[in-house]
Homo-oligomer: A and B are copies of this chain.
Amino acid sequence: MANLKLTPDETKAWMGLIKAQQHLTDKVEDELKKNGLPPYSWYDVLLELDKAPDGSLRLNDLGKKVLLNKYNVTRLIDRLEKEGLVSRDACPVDGRGKVACITPKGRMLRQKMWPVYYSVIKEHFLSQFSTGQLGQFIECIDRINSQFKN
């Protein structure tokens, strides 16, 4: 059994990350709501679809991109479909599959959400970095994330 203790710096780094992300995403949700816009999760999938060729992705692949498990993808797509932001079509190459396809209305909503989202990123996140720091930060973050690619 190992030491089981974190140094003060280690604690600061970890707790800091948790709280930072919580503050930031709270702020994003807050601003979206204040502007009468849907939650961030909607933006997240609309963006992935918007970027995808043909504006469509299989639910499964979409789930991996936005880090949602399958039942939550199903239901999120339910809601978006109900609002006419995506359509849900049969997958041509796999009889089990479904693809979500972003509609023009969906693309427009994403565009409308972006400025609000953008301003939070700019004001509360990017503004806190000096020029060199951003690169450093990316390096750390990438290392962490690379563990989770598969």
Contact = CB atoms under 8 A, between A and B. Distances in A.
Interface of A: 2, 4, 6, 9-10, 12-14, 16-26, 67, 114-115, 118, 121-122, 124-126, 128-129, 133-145, 147-148
A135 B17 CA distance: 13
Contacts of A124: 144, 147
Number of copies: 2
A85 B128 CA distance: 39
B129 A140 contact: yes
B141 A23 contact: no
Contacts of A10: 121, 126, 134
Contacts of A128: 140, 143-144, 147
For the residues of A in contact with B, the DSSP-based class is helix
A119 to B, nearest CB: 8
A129 B4 CA distance: 18
Given A19-B67, A20-B141, A20-B144, A134 B13 contact: yes
